[in-house]
Amino acid sequence: MSTVTSARANSEIHLETSPFLFSEIVVGTDFSKPAERALQAAESIALAFKGSLTVVNSTPLLTPTLGMEGILPEVMEAGISDARRRLVRMLSRDGADSLRPDLVVSYQGATDLIIETAKSRHADLIAVGSHSATGLERVALGSVAETILRKAECPVLIAGPRCRETTHPFRSILFATDLDATGLRAAQYATSLAGQFRSRLTLLHVLEHKDKVSASERVTRESDFLKRLTELIPSHLTEVERPQTKLAYGKASEEILAEAERANASLIVIGVGRHTGVIDHLPWNTVCRVVREARCPILGVRGHL
């Protein structure tokens, strides 16, 4: 397991990162295009780590107004069987059947089913797709992917509606951090994965209000933030292996997306704070916007060490 060590008496923090393993991966699918992209990324990760894959589908009732007691058992069984056949066809088409994944199909709600399956399998990673709902629709319905991200006990890989097919998700990693609320755990995942796969890694922090401080104050602030970014890099890395550290000014979601394009990122790692409530689903939320617009998967890592 990775550890955080204090190198000097002034509590300057460095990361000494041992490899994280994605041995047990749970994928939630609703057969949508984003879910297919999430499955493709999960397959690549399972192959890279020689891991196990479990594919989960929450099957909707045909007549939800009747409730479970209004559905004949044979009708319910037929629905489950049909969903399993669709899963088998999808996995065969994508080549994922070679991993011999376990299949879990249930009438249970998608969020609860995925999280409970992940807990029972002691999952190291959950992978899901996210649709492009915005505005009042998102506030009213929420997002299965984002709800899972807030509740899961392991990192969550999300493929948004603009995500492209990903066969090498660790080729180029962008780690975006606010250096405060998102904690160190996400930094450990980003640096560990980059080290294991010799990935190109960029660490990004976005600052706002460039014009509200003097030039001299801005130089001091930028130097301080670059130093804090550097402290997230394991000290044992050579100059060749060390990632880029970058600062940007502007709206966080826009700058993250712009840097992801410049770096040709195959994965964006974002730490997720402990915020709860409706605000999590508003379209201007940073994580929500990045998920909705990014062309690569997002790895959300919740919590502090």
The CATH number of the domain holding residue 34 is 3.40.50.620
Q: Using the CB atoms, write b or e for 43-53: b if 16+ within 10 Å.
A: bbbbeebebbb
212 and 289 inside one domain:
yes
- What is the reported pLDDT for 129? 94
Q: Which of 159, 179, 194 is the last residue of a domain?
A: 159
Any domain includes 12 = no
Query: Domain range spanning residue 138?
Result: 24-159
- What is the reported pLDDT for 220? 87
> What is the C-alpha separation between 111 and 145, in angstroms, rounded?
8
Burial class (CB in 10 A: 0-12, 13-18, 19+), 171: middle
126 and 207 inside one domain:
no
Q: Is 176 helix (H, G, I), strand (E, B) or coil?
A: strand
31 and 77 inside one domain:
yes
- What is the reported pLDDT for 266? 97
- What is the reported pLDDT for 274? 60
- What is the reported pLDDT for 2? 40
Taking alpha carbons only, the member of 305, 282, 301 closest to residue 150 is 301
- What is the reported pLDDT for 295? 96
- What is the reported pLDDT for 42? 95
Bridge partners of 26, per DSSP, are 54, 126
- What is the reported pLDDT for 69? 57
Query: Cα–Cα distances in Å, from 82 out to 53, 91, 135?
Result: 21, 14, 34
143 and 202 inside one domain:
no
Six token digits for residue 63:
């007549």
154 and 177 inside one domain:
no
60 within 8 A of 179, measured Cβ to Cβ: no
298 and 170 inside one domain:
yes
187 and 291 inside one domain:
yes
Q: Which of 143, 159, 175 is the last residue of a domain?
A: 159
176 and 277 inside one domain:
yes
Question: How many domains does the structure of the chain reveal?
Answer: 2
Q: Which of 159, 189, 214 is the last residue of a domain?
A: 159
141 and 177 inside one domain:
no
pLDDT in tens, the chain (305 residues): 343 333 333 344 445 556 789 999 999 999 999 999 999 999 999 999 999 999 999 987 655 445 555 566 777 777 788 888 989 988 887 666 678 999 999 988 899 999 999 999 999 999 999 986 555 444 433 578 878 988 899 999 999 999 998 889 999 999 999 887 666 889 989 999 998 999 999 999 998 776 666 788 888 889 998 998 888 887 766 555 678 999 999 999 999 999 999 999 999 999 887 654 444 444 447 888 899 899 999 999 986 54
Any domain includes 296 = yes
Six token digits for residue 118:
């992940």
Query: Cα–Cα distances in Å, from 155 out to 36, 52, 151, 158, 195?
Result: 19, 16, 10, 10, 18
